[in-house]
Structure 1
Amino acid sequence: MCNLVPTVRALQRHWPEARLTWIIGKGEHSLLAGLSGVEFVVYDKSTGLAGMRALWQELADTRFDVLLHMQQSLRASLLSLGLKADVRVGYDKARAKDAQHWFTHRHLAPHPRAHVLESFLDFARLLGVEDLSLDWQLPIPAVAFDEARALSGEAPYLVINPCSSMRLRNFRNWSAEGYASVIEHAWVHHGLKTVLTGGSSTQERELGERIQALCRPDTVIDAIGGTSLKGLLALIQRARLLVAPDTGPVHMANALGTPALGLYATSNVDRAGPYLWRAFAVDRYPEAVRTYMHKAPEELSWGQRVRHPDAMSLIRAEDVIERLDALLVQSPVPQDTESRADEA
């Protein structure tokens, strides 16, 4: 979602009077609700065909000039069939998944080895938009900043979101011991407490508990399962730095201008890393490909993951600490972040 917003902003600059309708999931909507100039139509994925029919009925009297088919899934393609649109734009055949190109009229120009954010911008490029400067302006309400302050206090801090999403054969998470070393260094050398964030799943809570057991009690604030998505945005906006594996909060930080230190070994940082902070990521993907797949990275298809449980062990605590120090030196303490968010 965060990687897609710059495309929305580019379209708005090019056609300021255009009506933009975004069909979006419930969880994603809770993150982006209030995005200026966008009419959201919320689709509950759990409702299946009945939900699709309800959405089709809601938009029965609307005919779109262009439908940008930006979600690559068979469910999204089926949903698109019930929408009236003069032109349907999808990915080129090399990037299309789940036979998406069968459901669209026009296809993007090939763009090999593109970052996810650049792939979204390709939709604006096809429509003739030339100003592709990056702009997010994510809305964060005052109540979300109140939520963040109640958790973190007023002193500077960093955020660690230690877990990625729950998926089959998902080996993107780093070790509790590694995170504990980073937390200790941030406290001793920078005077920064760490706020742990994440969802309320058993996996996330258990990893958070293991991390805290290895740390001094006064150095960690446990916010795992304790924030709304808007509250998480506010926490990240106010933070000095965010550390996380390949997961949504690195892109939230990227969108908010907060330095993002990504930890990558199972996925390619050049495709899925925090766009503006890729140079600061700890990138062990090439090494993991050679070690566990016995291939050179260029032999893999773009975006192919390393599905090995030991891949993230290639990341060393000293590498993360080195990048953390470099980012903290170049990044000033955030000032008046709530005012800046309100202005945006």
Structure 2
Amino acid sequence: MKRPLPAQPRHIGILRLSALGDVCNLVPTVRALQRQWPEARITWIIGKGEHSLLAGLSGVEFVVYDKASGLAGMRALWRELAETRFDVLLHMQQAIRASLLSLGLKAAVRVGYDRARAKDAQHWFTHRQLPPHPRAHVVESFMDFACLLGVEDTRLEWRLSVPDAAFEEARRLSAGRHYLVVSPCSSVRVRNFRNWSAAGFAAVIEHAWQQYGLVTLLTGSGTAKEREMCERIAALVPDREALVDAVGQLSLKGLLALIDEAQAVIAPDSGPVHMANALNTPVIGLYATSNLQRTGPYCWRHLAVDRYPQAVAQFLHKDVETLGWGERVRHPDAMSLIAADDVIDRLDTLLSEPRDET
């Protein structure tokens, strides 16, 4: 027998540790829950870096789990929440680490993904599963949790917290100029081939400067690979005034502020495209190795350069319509299907249209 869902939850737990883009995509679900039950307490168990991005989100209590702390960190978190009992726990992380972490949390009912979307046998750790939702975007998959609880108002709302100090941090780099943000690198993972070419980025940066007088701020966390990529891009941009190297110089809140005041963001499938989406900043996503319709910037998918169908055909020898919804193209040449002219065309289209500030 299925455990009943609370009709009027007083305390809602959310378990989603990572990643930066995913936690941005989850915020509209939090807002939908708050609209439905404004008096409900919401506690979000989140990763350390992700918390630094979302800290200050109104109406949410965060409990931080440092993923590097392993079992000792889990035990510490269980002790911290020993006296807490959730009316419902929304288990939104499809990973065995998160499922193990959930075992030490007290909840009347635990909700997880349906079997088609769950990974690492997540259904073994939950009492109720979402109804199937084939071909759902990540934003929609998160909102399915709210819908299962009875939420009907699913309009998208973010209202991220960006403090004044973050805008001061960003403005020290932008220095009053009109600018683009280019974040050329996605996270470092095994067989992660999401990054585009340095030459492609350099061509787009030069075009933005020559045609529109837009400076480009290069951003990233400052790893050795990111530093190398940005140095390669800078070496290919003829006009030094066209580029500001901001790699490793911003906090995550500072990056939010920088994106908020940018004319546009250009990046591969990575956290910054979803940060831009959450802030209603136009974003040109560069997609070939992952499915734009599943993981693209939700409100700006129409601006993306999408070569995923071609990559599936060329490197997997399959048809995108019959491919598994979350399958990636793990081939080092996939992103080469994106040409500089493709991105320049999207940028020209964007800059020729008035921006909707709503």
TM-score range, shorter chain: over 0.9
Residue 333 of structure 1: how far off its partner (Å): 9.8
Identity %: 71
CA distance in 2, matches of 1:293, 1:51: 40
1:31-180 equivalences in 2 (<5 Å): 31-180=53-202
Of 304, 310, 333, the residue aligned with 1:310 is 333
CA distance in 1, matches of 2:76, 2:303: 45
Residue 302 of structure 1: how far off its partner (Å): 0.7
Residue 82 of structure 1: how far off its partner (Å): 0.4
Taking structure 1 as the reference length, the TM-score comes to 0.96
Residue of structure 2 equivalent to 1:202 = 224
Does the 8 Å CA contact 1:243/1:262 hold for their aligned counterparts? yes
Does the 8 Å CA contact 1:158/1:193 hold for their aligned counterparts? yes
Residue 331 of structure 1: how far off its partner (Å): 4.0
SS at match of 1:22: strand
CA distance in 2, matches of 1:95, 1:281: 25
Letter of the 2:190 counterpart: L
Across the aligned residues of Structure 1 and Structure 2, the Cα RMSD in angstroms comes to 1.1
Taking structure 2 as the reference length, the TM-score comes to 0.92
Aligned length: 335
Of 255, 279, 299, the residue aligned with 2:278 is 255
CA distance in 2, matches of 1:144, 1:38: 20
Letter of the 1:79 counterpart: L
CA distance change for structure 1 residues 332 and 299 in 2, over 3 Å: closer, same or farther? closer
CA distance in 2, matches of 1:204, 1:329: 31
* Unaligned 5+ runs, structure 2: 1-22
Of 261, 269, 275, the residue aligned with 1:238 is 261
* Unaligned 5+ runs, structure 1: 335-339
CA distance in 2, matches of 1:333, 1:113: 28
CA distance in 2, matches of 1:38, 1:27: 17
CA distance in 2, matches of 1:71, 1:288: 28
Residue of structure 2 equivalent to 1:337 = none
CA distance in 2, matches of 1:305, 1:220: 32
CA distance in 1, matches of 2:132, 2:354: 36
Letter of the 1:249 counterpart: P
Residue 46 of structure 1: how far off its partner (Å): 1.1
Q: Are positions 1:289 and 2:312 aligned together?
A: yes
CA distance in 1, matches of 2:72, 2:263: 45
SS at match of 2:166: helix
CA distance in 1, matches of 2:325, 2:354: 32
1:94-144: CA deviation from partner (whole Å, max 9, x where unpaired): 100000000000000100010000000000000000000000000000000
CA distance change for structure 1 residues 72 and 333 in 2, over 3 Å: closer, same or farther? closer
Does the 8 Å CA contact 1:288/1:306 hold for their aligned counterparts? yes
- Give runs of ≥4 in structure 1 deviating > 2 Å: 331-334
Residue 303 of structure 1: how far off its partner (Å): 1.1
CA distance in 2, matches of 1:220, 1:331: 25
SS at match of 2:348: helix
CA distance in 2, matches of 1:256, 1:154: 20
Residue of structure 2 equivalent to 1:7 = 29
Does the 8 Å CA contact 1:237/1:258 hold for their aligned counterparts? yes
Residue 330 of structure 1: how far off its partner (Å): 1.8
Residue 332 of structure 1: how far off its partner (Å): 3.8
Letter of the 1:21 counterpart: T
SS at match of 2:217: strand
SS at match of 1:159: strand
1:53-98: CA deviation from partner (whole Å, max 9, x where unpaired): 1111111111100000001110000000000000000000110000
Does the 8 Å CA contact 1:259/1:331 hold for their aligned counterparts? no
